[in-house]
């Protein structure tokens, strides 16, 4: 079968290929320590699991659910946004539960892009922005995030581009993969930029609770709902990546537009999952502190490992990764990653998969036990090749 033209230029996702290679290495007895992927290894809160179990045992829990999600979950999302981000959202009209932020990225592209429409995407940035734009028939216009600009868009440079065909801009702070935190000034500039050029800014915000004491929403900027929608997720904040629960928040008109697409794609999530997610969102600060204490301990180990690899990094990063610059002796992050994989049986992600601006970086995930970091450090210390 010939695949559809829309798949031209869309390769298999890097991790899906690499994990296959790692599986093969493991089968040949290598026992690879995977510090690549950002999938939380810790469980959700026990009350969340209990809610899922209790609700799933009820006979009336198994029917199709509303496309707009359960009112219980929408109310919980609204309260969560108010409590943590100081953003008011109408639970009936301004919130759409999703199966993850990733779904929101694709749905946004399918809802708003026509063939040839342009979209600003970050380089380095989450690869799904680029593939979703292409799948929907749009064209990516990359904006480079540089360390010397604190990984913020260079607005002066953007203003010089022809933005006539640009309909959407993806932004993401705390930024993945660089770990850069947002500032109020940056958020205000983004809203002003979106308003000035009539561009819908899509803020992807799944990392705001990880190793960050001050979660921020782009919707907190005054008047933001005119030109911003925000995607959020329980994948990282509540250790629920496999549950597939996220949300899209914004003006009623935007929610209704996405709903026109989404309601033709699927139905609402399994009700017990929605009710358990509502439970998760009601957890207090103790929960975030507990999760962050674990990540903090692991991050210290990650710093140690990166020092061994002679990488340079900022300690002021948020999210569940550490982004680090490789030494000049390596051609790029791919060569360092491959060397560590084949010589030490440790996998770290080459920064180039997030765009060529990441070529001289690697990314270390904090989703592995501290003991695994210890073991990885020992293996690298024993590594015989250059370093």
Ligand X SMILES: Cc1ncc(COP(=O)(O)O)c(C=O)c1O
Q: Could you tell me the smallest distance in angstroms from the CB atom of residue 209 to ligand X?
A: 13
Assess 101 for contact with ligand X (CB under 6 A). Answer: yes
Q: Please state whether beta strands 361-365 and 346-350 pair in parallel, antiparallel, or not at all (unpaired).
A: antiparallel
Assess 367 for contact with ligand X (CB under 6 A). Answer: no
Which one among 45, 68, 74, 102 touches ligand X, defined by CB under 6 A? 102
Assess 233 for contact with ligand X (CB under 6 A). Answer: yes
Instruction: Choose one: 78-86, 100-108, 189-197, 333-341; the region binding ligand X (CB under 6 A).
Output: 100-108
Q: Which is nearer to ligand X, 235 or 345 (CB)?
A: 235
Count of C-beta atoms within a 10 Å radius of residue 162: 8
- Burial label for 79, CB within 10 Å (0-12, 13-18, 19+), is middle
Which one among 40, 246, 268, 272 touches ligand X, defined by CB under 6 A? 246
- DSSP secondary structure code for residue 351 in this structure: G
Instruction: Choose one: 54-62, 75-83, 233-241, 302-310; the region binding ligand X (CB under 6 A).
Output: 233-241
3-state secondary structure of 150: coil
Instruction: Determine the Cα–Cα distance for residues 322 and 318; give it in Å rounded to an integer.
Output: 8
3-state secondary structure of 111: helix
Return the structure tokens found at 338: 């491959």
Instruction: Determine the Cα–Cα distance for residues 120 and 73; give it in Å rounded to an integer.
Output: 31
Phi, psi angles (nearest 5°) of residue 374: -55, -45
Q: Could you tell me the smallest distance in angstroms from the CB atom of residue 233 to ligand X?
A: 3
**Mask of contacts with ligand X, 115-134, x by CB under 6 A?**
-----------x--------
Q: How far is CA 174 from the centre of its chain?
A: 9
Q: How far is CA 358 from the centre of its chain?
A: 16
Q: Could you tell me the smallest distance in angstroms from the CB atom of residue 239 to ligand X?
A: 11
Assess 38 for contact with ligand X (CB under 6 A). Answer: yes
Instruction: Choose one: 1-9, 68-76, 95-103, 290-298; the region binding ligand X (CB under 6 A).
Output: 95-103
Which one among 204, 215, 337, 377 touches ligand X, defined by CB under 6 A? 204
Which chain residues interact with ligand X by CB under 6 A? Answer: 38, 100-102, 126, 172, 176, 204, 206, 233, 235, 241, 246
């Amino acid at each position: 079968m010939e695949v559809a033209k829309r798949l031209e230029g869309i390769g298999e996702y890097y991790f899906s290929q690499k994990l296959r290679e790692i599986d093969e290495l493991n089968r040949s007895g290598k026992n690879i320590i995977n510090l690549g992927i950002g999938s939380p290894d810790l469980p959700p809160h026990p009350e969340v699991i209990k809610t899922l179990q209790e609700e799933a045992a009820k006979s009336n829990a198994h029917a199709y659910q509303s496309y707009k999600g359960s009112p219980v979950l929408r109310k919980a999302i609204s309260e969560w946004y108010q409590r943590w981000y100081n953003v008011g959202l109408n639970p009936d009209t301004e919130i759409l539960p999703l199966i993850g932020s990733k779904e929101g990225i694709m749905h946004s592209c399918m809802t708003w892009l026509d063939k040839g429409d342009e979209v600003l995407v970050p380089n380095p940035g989450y690869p799904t922005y680029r593939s979703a734009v292409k799948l929907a028939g749009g064209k990516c216009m990359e904006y480079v995030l540089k360390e010397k600009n604190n990984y913020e868009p260079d607005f002066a440079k953007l203003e010089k581009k022809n933005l006539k065909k640009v309909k959407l801009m993806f932004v993401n702070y705390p930024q993945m993969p660089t770990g850069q935190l947002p500032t109020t000034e940056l958020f205000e500039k983004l809203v002003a930029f979106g308003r000035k050029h009539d561009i819908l800014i899509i803020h992807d915000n799944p990392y705001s609770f990880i190793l960050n004491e001050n979660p921020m929403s782009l919707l907190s900027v005054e008047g933001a709902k005119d030109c911003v929608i925000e995607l959020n997720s329980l994948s990282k904040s509540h250790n629920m990546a496999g549950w597939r629960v996220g949300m899209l928040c914004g003006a009623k008109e935007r929610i209704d537009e996405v709903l026109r697409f989404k309601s033709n794609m699927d139905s609402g999530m399994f009700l017990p999952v929605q009710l358990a997610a509502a439970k998760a969102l009601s957890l207090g600060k103790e929960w975030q502190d507990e999760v962050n204490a674990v990540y903090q301990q692991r991050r210290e180990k990650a710093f140690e490992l990166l020092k061994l690899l002679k990488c340079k990094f900022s300690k002021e990063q948020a999210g569940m990764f550490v982004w680090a610059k490789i030494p000049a002796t390596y051609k790029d992050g791919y060569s360092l990653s491959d060397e560590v994989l084949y010589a030490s049986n440790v996998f770290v992600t080459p920064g180039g998969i997030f765009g060529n601006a990441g070529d001289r970086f690697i990314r270390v995930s904090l989703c592995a036990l501290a003991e695994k970091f210890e073991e990885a450090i020992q293996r690298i210390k024993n590594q015989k090749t250059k370093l």
